């Protein structure tokens, strides 16, 4: 069978090539070349944040053209799509973190990093105040003022609570690593307390009841991960809790996953029913105490009723609100006064009412959804824009030099040659300066819905849509996220976590 022989040779060859490539990429990141020192003659570009938007900008920008300073309270990039999996130990948190130092150390030139928060922007004098986040010697907070030529705001968003009483004090959120760790700890904490012999029925049921508020992708994915944890591990290790363990998802709108297509919404709701996750739609949470959620439900006849949900764990996932530094900018810049959701930007992502300030990702108020996909594309766009601006600066100074030489030239022939060169560079400069506005290309949406099933709304060639849900989609979900992981290291760690959970189950010990 000559065909089989060729097939095996090709497979074998590709495997060797892939292994060699992986080994080379690991070696390359572990042995970065020496970097050029900061050059004071270059413009200073300050980037706020180490999330999806800022890091994709950082990856693509030519760092040798600027003095780049990155400021963020988090010295790592976080792969948020797998954060819900960290709450149950399906994936360990360090597997989805990538140190920012490994990104900046591999750039063409030195990039400075400050672990601090941008606290206020003096947009008229181009000054940024930053405050050290964690100071371990308790010496009080340290602030610094940075001068910038260009500033990029990529600070993301914080959790919205809509000012609902009791939420901030009693609920867990799911945005950052400490949030996932806190949830993981509380799940086990509630289960161990519920197994304590002397509890009455009501108290045990309450402790084992998790209420998830918000039927967007965060709430849905978390509810799914928790129910998986229960079905695959907890009910086997701690059978005495099985009859009382319960997950309820509360959503104010008539259905969960409002941004997905109708058939996927129905598929998700049916899957949740099969998984025994209770879904309460048209139910708006109004108040939270330390052990009860109070909500207003709209009945099919349109009348309202008050629902009380005693809980042991409350996870709040009702979307985004602007961070303090963004609110501060919105209140100072007159052109931003009418914005509520975030910074208003123009089609080049320039913050309205400012010069030299751009914003991207979840901290902006645009027509796009606040997703990693949008933030990444905006980051790539801004990197191209800054590379173009730097190229324009170089051309401008070359033209000025040539013009000086032309003025000093004595014979007409060389004068003419130099002027021709000036003209050609001026044409190139005009082309370089003609920037294109940002355009978003939507690739689709994916969400995990539990029991090894996922839903996918995919977009092909800008207009055709393909909706699918089930186990095959779950395999696609896994391979898509593995390929999107930040580094080879992250990919290997996540795959190892998944294998570990398949073989040994999730770790139920309480840290």
The count of other CB atoms within 10 Å of the CB of residue 104 is 21
> By rule CB under 6 A, what string of x and - marks binding of each residue 13-52 to ligand NAI?
----------------------------------------
Q: Between residues 218 and 432, which has the closer beta carbon with respect to ligand FAD?
A: 218
User: Beta strand 67-72 with 44-48: parallel, antiparallel or unpaired?
Assistant: parallel
* 454 scored as a contact of ligand FAD (CB under 6 A): no
Q: Please, what is the minimum distance in Å from the beta carbon of residue 132 to ligand FAD?
A: 11
* 156 scored as a contact of ligand FAD (CB under 6 A): yes
276: Cβ contacts below 8 Å, ≥ 6 apart:
227
Cα separation, 82 vs 448, in Å, equals: 10
Cα separation, 277 vs 258, in Å, equals: 18
* 85 scored as a contact of ligand FAD (CB under 6 A): no
> By rule CB under 6 A, what string of x and - marks binding of each residue 285-304 to ligand NAI?
x-------------------
Q: Between residues 357 and 422, which has the closer beta carbon with respect to ligand FAD?
A: 357
Residue ranges in 44-103 that form contacts with ligand NAI under rule CB under 6 A: 81
Find residue 172's DSSP bridge partners. Answer: 315
Residue 285 binds what, of ligand FAD, ligand NAI, none (CB under 5 to 8 Å, by partner type)?
ligand NAI
Residue 49 binds what, of ligand NAI, ligand FAD, none (CB under 5 to 8 Å, by partner type)?
ligand FAD
Q: Please, what is the minimum distance in Å from the beta carbon of residue 83 to ligand NAI?
A: 8
* 458 scored as a contact of ligand FAD (CB under 6 A): no
Cα separation, 215 vs 268, in Å, equals: 11
251: Cβ contacts below 8 Å, ≥ 6 apart:
214, 215, 219, 279, 280, 281, 282, 283
* 473 scored as a contact of ligand NAI (CB under 6 A): no
* 51 scored as a contact of ligand FAD (CB under 6 A): yes
165: Cβ contacts below 8 Å, ≥ 6 apart:
287, 288
* 215 scored as a contact of ligand NAI (CB under 6 A): yes
* 335 scored as a contact of ligand NAI (CB under 6 A): no
* 84 scored as a contact of ligand FAD (CB under 6 A): yes
* 371 scored as a contact of ligand FAD (CB under 6 A): yes
Residue ranges in 464-493 that form contacts with ligand FAD under rule CB under 6 A: none
Which element (helix H / strand E) includes 297?
strand 292-298
Could you tell me the two tokens for 303?
A: 């009348």
Please report the beta strands in 105-251, taking only residues with DSSP state E, as ranges in sequence order. Answer: 111-122, 127-132, 143-147, 150-153, 158-159, 209-213, 246-250
H runs (alpha helix) in 292-338: 324-332
Q: What is the dihedral of CA 419, 422, 423, 426, to 10 degrees?
A: -160
The residues of the shown chain that bind ligand NAI, judged by CB under 6 A, are 81, 164, 213-219, 221, 250-253, 258-259, 284-285, 317-320, 369-371, 445-447
């Amino acid at each position: 069978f000559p065909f089989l022989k060729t097939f095996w040779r090709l497979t074998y060859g590709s495997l060797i090539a892939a292994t060699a490539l992986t080994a080379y990429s690991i070696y390359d990141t572990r042995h970065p070349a020496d970097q050029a020192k900061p050059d004071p003659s270059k413009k200073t570009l300050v980037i706020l944040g180490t999330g999806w938007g800022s890091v994709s900008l950082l990856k693509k920008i030519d760092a040798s053209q600027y003095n780049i300073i990155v400021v963020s309270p988090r010295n790592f990039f976080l792969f948020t799509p797998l954060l819900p999996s960290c709450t149950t130990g399906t994936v360990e948190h360090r597997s989805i973190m990538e140190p920012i130092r490994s990104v900046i150390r591999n750039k063409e030139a030195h990039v400075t990093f400050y672990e601090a928060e941008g606290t206020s922007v003096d947009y008229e004098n181009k000054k940024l105040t930053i405050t050290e986040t964690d100071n371990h010697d308790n010496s009080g907070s340290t602030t610094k003022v940075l001068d910038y030529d260009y500033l990029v705001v990529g600070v993301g968003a914080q959790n919205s609570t809509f000012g609902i009483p009791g939420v901030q004090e009693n609920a867990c959120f799911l945005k950052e690593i400490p949030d996932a760790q806190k949830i993981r700890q509380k799940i086990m904490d509630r289960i161990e307390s519920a197994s304590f012999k002397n509890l009455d029925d009501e108290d045990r049921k309450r402790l084992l009841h998790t209420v998830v508020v918000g039927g967007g992708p965060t709430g849905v994915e978390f509810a799914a991960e928790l129910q998986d944890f229960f079905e695959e591990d907890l009910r086997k290790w701690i059978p005495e809790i099985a009859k009382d363990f319960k997950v309820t998802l509360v959503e104010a709108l008539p259905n969960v996953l409002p941004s997905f297509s109708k058939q996927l919404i129905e598929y998700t709701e049916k899957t949740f029913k099969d998984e025994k996750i209770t879904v309460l739609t048209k139910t708006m949470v109004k108040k939270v105490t330390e052990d009860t959620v109070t909500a207003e439900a709209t009945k099919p006849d349109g009348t309202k009723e008050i629902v009380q949900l005693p809980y042991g764990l409350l996870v709040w996932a009702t979307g985004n609100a602007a961070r303090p530094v963004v609110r501060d900018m919105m209140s100072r810049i007159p052109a931003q006064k009418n914005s509520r959701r975030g910074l208003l930007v123009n089609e080049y992502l320039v913050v309205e009412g400012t010069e030299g300030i751009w914003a991207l990702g979840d901290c902006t108020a645009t027509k796009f959804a606040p997703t990693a996909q949008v933030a990444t594309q905006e980051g790539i766009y801004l990197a191209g824009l800054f590379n173009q601006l730097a190229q324009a600066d170089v051309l401008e100074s070359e033209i000025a030099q040539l013009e000086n030489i032309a003025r000093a030239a004595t014979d007409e022939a060389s004068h003419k040659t130099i002027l021709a060169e000036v003209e050609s560079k001026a044409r190139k400069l005009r082309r370089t300066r003609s920037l294109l506005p940002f355009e978003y290309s939507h690739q689709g949406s994916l969400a995990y819905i539990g029991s090894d099933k996922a839903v996918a709304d995919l977009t092909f060639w800008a207009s055709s849509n393909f909706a699918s849900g089930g186990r095959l989609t779950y395999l696609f979900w896994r391979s898509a996220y593995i390929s999107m992981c930040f580094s080879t290291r992250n990919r290997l760690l996540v795959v190892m976590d998944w294998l570990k959970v398949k073989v040994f189950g999730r770790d139920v010990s309480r840290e």
